[in-house]
């Protein structure tokens, strides 16, 4: 019902509010989830500041969620039209009959970090050590690192190391306080920690390349239900166009970054520069057949690893998950 679509979202810490006024001409209303101060909010603020919503006939309404895990809940509950999440999650649900679609958001990935003065130089050095994992035991980066460990060492890091799972801020603080020998963290936290002196042992890019997957497909993107957006008359294209415009601006304009600096919340200029350059390195290009082929190879690798929690029992690769558009 349209009445429900226009209501404030309730439950599980989800709040919807209008980002920009509706233009004089009919605009496409799209409800997008965002974590406050997360990287999606940087794009949203850029869209708002530069009028990219109006330019693309977009009436963007933000569904604020407490964390990344709340996005899929909001989508499945009909409280949002579009979320930002991994395509591995979308593929699992698509295999169960959900008509989900994916368009890339970012190819920026995290890193495996060790303290500046750590003697560790290879993955083998982590045997018996405390390794912080941002997320849960099925975080995609951790599963990929385990796959790399199996290929390199013939051993499962989950069994030979002592993984410590937690939210990224908690893992970051535990690492800073010396209670972890290494940590696998999201790129935003990795950028902050490297400016503080932490050393990269491996990037997730390195891991995927070592698993013979090339080109590296963006793992995180915009996800929506094709059936639901069609049923509610929602067009996703204006959102994707506005995001593309915002990404082009952030990829090239330092002034645009200065305008969103209050949202980025850097502790110093070095951290601000690191975050900006990490973000720019992850601005995705168009999704092509090459990325689809790589995603298929990566999916098969995860299935072969036997990680049914991540990809789901019975999951099959479906190239139709990936949205392609022109313009």
> How many independent structural domains does the chain possess?
2
pLDDT, position 14: 42
> Strand pairing of 182-185 and 111-114?
antiparallel
Question: Who's near 293: CB < 8 A, 6+ residues apart?
Answer: none
**Tokens matching residue 18:** 């209008």
Which CATH number covers residue 124? 3.40.190.10
Q: What is d(CA 250, CA 268) in angstroms, rounded to the nearest whole number? A: 19
Where is the domain boundary, 177, 210, 243?
210
What does the pLDDT profile of the chain (327 residues) look like in tens digits? Answer: 444 443 333 344 444 434 444 444 578 999 999 998 899 999 999 999 999 999 999 999 999 998 888 999 999 999 999 999 999 889 989 988 999 999 999 999 999 999 999 999 999 999 999 999 998 888 889 989 998 999 999 999 999 999 999 999 999 999 999 999 999 999 999 999 999 999 999 999 999 999 999 999 999 999 999 999 999 999 999 999 999 999 999 999 999 999 999 999 999 999 999 999 999 999 999 999 999 999 999 988 877 776 555 565 667 899 999 998 644
The verdict on 140 and 259 lying in the same domain is no
State CA 101 to chain mean position distance.
15
**Tokens matching residue 46:** 């850029």
One-character DSSP codes across 127-146: TTSEEEEEB-TT-HHHHHHH
Where is the domain boundary, 165, 191, 210?
210
The verdict on 89 and 172 lying in the same domain is no
The verdict on 282 and 232 lying in the same domain is yes
Asked if residue 96 is part of any domain, the answer here is yes
The verdict on 60 and 131 lying in the same domain is no
pLDDT, position 120: 97
The verdict on 98 and 122 lying in the same domain is no
pLDDT, position 313: 62
The verdict on 77 and 196 lying in the same domain is no
The verdict on 29 and 41 lying in the same domain is yes
pLDDT, position 9: 39
Please answer whether residues 131 and 184 qualify as being in contact, where contact means their C-beta atoms are separated by less than 8 angstroms.
yes
The verdict on 102 and 123 lying in the same domain is no
Q: What is d(CA 299, CA 303) in angstroms, rounded to the nearest whole number? A: 6
Beta strands in 82-180 (DSSP E): 82-86, 100-106, 111-114, 130-134, 162-166
| DSSP summary character for residue 197 | T
Asked if residue 60 is part of any domain, the answer here is yes
Asked if residue 70 is part of any domain, the answer here is yes
pLDDT, position 301: 83
The verdict on 78 and 201 lying in the same domain is no
Distances in Å between the alpha carbon of 82 and those of 77, 102, 153?
12, 10, 40
Where is the domain boundary, 210, 237, 252?
210
Question: Who's near 254: CB < 8 A, 6+ residues apart?
Answer: 276
Asked if residue 327 is part of any domain, the answer here is no
pLDDT, position 306: 60
The verdict on 117 and 43 lying in the same domain is no
Print the domain residue range for 278: 2-107+218-321
Asked if residue 6 is part of any domain, the answer here is yes
Handedness of CA 81, 86, 87, 88 (dihedral sign): negative
Asked if residue 326 is part of any domain, the answer here is no
The verdict on 276 and 300 lying in the same domain is yes
By CB atoms closer than 10 A (0-12, 13-18, 19+), residue 85 is buried
The verdict on 103 and 121 lying in the same domain is no
């Amino acid at each position: 019902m349209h009445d429900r679509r226009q209501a404030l979202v309730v439950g599980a810490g989800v709040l919807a509010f209008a980002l920009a006024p509706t233009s004089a001409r009919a605009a496409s209303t799209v409800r997008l989830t965002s974590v406050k101060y997360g990287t999606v909010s940087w794009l949203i603020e850029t869209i708002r500041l530069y009028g990219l919503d109006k330019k693309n006939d977009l009436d963007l309404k933000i569904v604020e969620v407490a964390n990344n895990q709340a996005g899929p809940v909001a989508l499945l509950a009909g409280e949002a039209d579009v979320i930002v999440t991994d395509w591995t999650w979308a593929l699992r649900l698509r295999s169960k009959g959900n008509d989900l679609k994916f368009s890339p958001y970012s190819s920026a990935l995290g890193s495996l970090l060790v303290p500046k003065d750590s003697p560790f130089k290879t993955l083998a050095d982590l045997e018996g050590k405390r390794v912080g994992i941002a997320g849960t035991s099925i975080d995609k980066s951790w599963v990929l690192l385990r796959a790399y460990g199996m290929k390199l060492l013939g051993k499962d890091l989950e069994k030979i190391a002592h993984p410590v799972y937690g939210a990224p801020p908690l893992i970051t603080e535990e690492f800073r306080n010396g209670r972890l020998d290494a940590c696998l963290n999201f790129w935003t936290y990795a950028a902050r920690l490297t400016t503080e002196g932490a050393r990269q042992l491996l990037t997730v890019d390195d891991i995927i390349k070592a698993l013979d997957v090339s080109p590296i497909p963006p793992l995180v993107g915009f996800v929506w239900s094709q059936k639901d957006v069609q049923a509610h008359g929602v067009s996703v294209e204006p959102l994707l166009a506005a995001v593309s415009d915002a990404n082009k601006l952030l990829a090239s304009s330092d002034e645009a970054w200065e305008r969103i600096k209050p949202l980025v919340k850097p502790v110093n200029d070095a951290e601000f520069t690191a975050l900006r350059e990490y973000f720019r390195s992850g601005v995705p290009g168009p999704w092509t057949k090459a990325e689809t082929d790589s995603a298929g190879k990566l999916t098969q690798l995860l299935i072969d690893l036997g990680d049914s929690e991540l990809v789901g029992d019975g999951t099959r690769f479906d190239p139709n998950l990936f949205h392609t558009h022109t313009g």
